[in-house]
């Protein structure tokens, strides 16, 4: 019996549909890089087979795509662009809110909405109220994570244009340190509260008791982690985004230096 795979000839209409869809996909990918290259003051050179300096001055610097460095107004503008482009795509999956709707909520807006979910109580009293508030809090974190992932993907594309290693490149991954996973107080992993279980409604709060692995000895790091544990989920998501930006920048820079030394 032959092991050759039987190939059925495609209908002309099916082949045309595949070709058209794949062309649209690659057109979109190329357009994405063209738009980003323009912001960086770059353009594609067929002669050089790479991106080169364009005739116009850069509108943005690579650092401007990071929340922790660069021009904060430019970062906010790029972030807004992501939200506008994806608002309809995600629908109202964020506890009934759109991505744009939940991302523009101020601290007062969030407190007011939580009170409304708790039927006028500052703190939810029933299981149903607690579930509604938790669902909204998780929706905030989900929205922030989607925005953070979108910004990270954009930085990867910028690194391709600038011929720098991205966070997904093997060179960057090979140099990334592997850290031990800390145990939680109960001995099991928790994705939402693995340091301390506390939610702070206002800016005044006593310092939470430290529940950290013995490997963390630097008192400054202990202070930072304890401070992070007192933030709500939105604050923690913003803190993590900044820290990821810093780590990616350090890893990418180290990998780039090592690559050029070879």
16-62 pLDDT per residue, tens: 999 999 999 999 999 999 999 999 999 999 999 999 999 999 999 99
CA-closest candidate to residue 44, choices 156, 163, 153: 163
Q: Which two tokens stand for residue 23?
A: 């062309």
The token pair that represents 97 in the structure block: 């809110």
pLDDT band for 182, please (50, 70, 90 cuts): very low
Coil, strand or helix at 42: strand
For 143-163, give the secondary structure using H, E and C. HHHHHHHHHHHHHHHHHHHCC
pLDDT in tens, 107-166: 999 999 999 999 999 899 999 999 999 999 999 999 999 999 999 999 999 999 998 876
Separation of alpha carbons 168 and 237, rounded Å: 21
> Residues 63-70: what's their mean pLDDT?
92
Q: Does residue 183 carry a pLDDT above 90?
A: no
């Amino acid at each position: 019996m032959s092991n050759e795979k039987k190939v059925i000839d495609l209908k002309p209409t099916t082949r045309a549909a595949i070709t058209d869809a794949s062309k649209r996909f690659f057109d979109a990918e190329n357009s994405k890089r063209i738009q980003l290259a323009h912001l960086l003051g770059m353009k594609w050179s067929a002669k050089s087979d790479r991106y080169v300096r364009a005739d116009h001055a850069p509108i943005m610097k690579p650092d401007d795509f990071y929340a922790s460095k660069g021009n904060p107004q430019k970062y906010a503008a790029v972030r807004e662009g992501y939200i506008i482009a994806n608002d309809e795509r995600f629908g109202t999956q964020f506890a009934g809110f759109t991505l744009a709707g939940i991302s523009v909520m101020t601290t007062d807006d969030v407190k007011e909405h939580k009170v409304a979910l708790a039927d006028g109580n500052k703190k939810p009293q029933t299981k149903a109220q607690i579930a509604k508030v938790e669902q909204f809090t998780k929706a905030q974190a989900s929205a922030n994570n989607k925005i953070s992932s979108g910004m990270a993907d954009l930085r990867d594309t910028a690194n391709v244009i600038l011929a720098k290693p991205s966070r997904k490149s093997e060179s960057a991954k090979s140099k990334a340190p592997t850290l031990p996973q800390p145990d939680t107080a109960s001995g099991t992993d928790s994705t939402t509260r693995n340091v301390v279980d506390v939610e702070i409604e206002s800016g005044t709060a006593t310092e939470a008791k430290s529940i950290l692995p013995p490997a963390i000895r630097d008192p400054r790091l202990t202070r930072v982690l304890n401070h992070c544990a007192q933030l709500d989920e939105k604050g923690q998501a913003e803190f993590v985004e900044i820290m990821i930006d810093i780590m990616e920048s350090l890893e990418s820079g180290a990998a780039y230096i090592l690559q050029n030394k070879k």
